[in-house]
């Protein structure tokens, strides 16, 4: 995952937590919910990127193994 992607995802999580906290303090359920959603968005993006990278790594390993088996 690129540094920019990690930064954006971290920004989503932190901003979400701040919005959630502000919503709790002010009693604004809508802002609290938006914060929770934004926080979750950052977490999901991180997990999806991790899964993609793992799948790409597994595919490379499989290609390498198949290439070695051909010899």
Condensed to tens digits (0 to 9), the pLDDT of residues 9-59 reads 999 999 999 999 999 999 999 999 999 999 999 999 999 999 999 999 999
The CA-based angle 37-46-50, given to 5 degrees, is: 150
Q: How confident is the model at residue 2 (pLDDT cuts 50, 70, 90)?
A: confident
Predicted confidence at residue 59, as pLDDT, reads 94
* 45-57 per-residue burial string, b: 16 or more CB within 10 A, e: under 16: bbeeeeeeeeeee
- In the predicted model, is pLDDT for residue 1 greater than 70? no
Hey, what are 9's tokens?
């995802």
Hey, what are 57's tokens?
């790594």
Hey, what are 22's tokens?
């502000």
Return d(Cα 70, Cα 62) in angstroms, integer.
Answer: 12
């Amino acid at each position: 995952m690129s540094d920019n992607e990690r930064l954006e995802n971290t920004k989503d999580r932190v901003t979400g937590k701040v919005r959630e906290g502000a919503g709790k303090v002010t009693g604004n359920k809508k802002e609290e919910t938006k914060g929770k959603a934004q926080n979750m968005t950052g977490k999901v993006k991180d997990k999806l990127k991790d899964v993609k990278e793992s799948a790409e790594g597994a595919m490379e390993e499989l290609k390498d193994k198949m290439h070695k088996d051909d010899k």
